[in-house]
Amino acid sequence: MRQKYHFATENGILIWDITSILEDIESHPDNYTVRYLPTSLLTDHNESRVSHTRAMATDISKPLVVAELSEGHMLLIDGNHRLYKAETLGMKNVPCYYLTQKQQQHFIVHFRPAEYDRIVACVS
């Protein structure tokens, strides 16, 4: 089963194909930037509920995946359990693959530029 991330607003929904993103990162790691982002910044904008047991068993060295929605606005699209573990362990920063708007649009299911702009405008 393919892993996907859904982001819904009153203006529509975006769906990222996480499986394809992770496969592309593995195949072309030099195309992606790893940034160390503050754990607090990511947890402030993440309302995910996770299993404590599952989270504590995750590999925290594997970078999370963050999508840039607009300048200054990002969305955690893969790594909720790793983020929970990092926060629980008191880590100040976590490694993240930071996908620019251009990079991530290739992985949005049925990407349509006008719809993307309308949805992202809600968070800007």
pLDDT tens, position by position, 23-72:
999 999 999 999 999 999 888 766 678 888 999 999 999 999 999 988 87
The edge-to-edge listing of strands for the beta sheet with 93-99 is 33-38, 93-99, 64-70, 73-78
Its sign, for the CA torsion 114, 116, 122, 124, is: negative
pLDDT in tens, 85-100: 999 999 999 999 999 9
**0.75 cut: is pTM over it?**
yes
Residue 80 has pLDDT above 80, yes or no: yes
- CA dist 98 and 88 (Å) reads 22
- CA dist 97 and 30 (Å) reads 11
Predicted confidence at residue 27, as pLDDT, reads: 97
pLDDT band at 123 (very low <50, low <70, confident <90, very high): confident
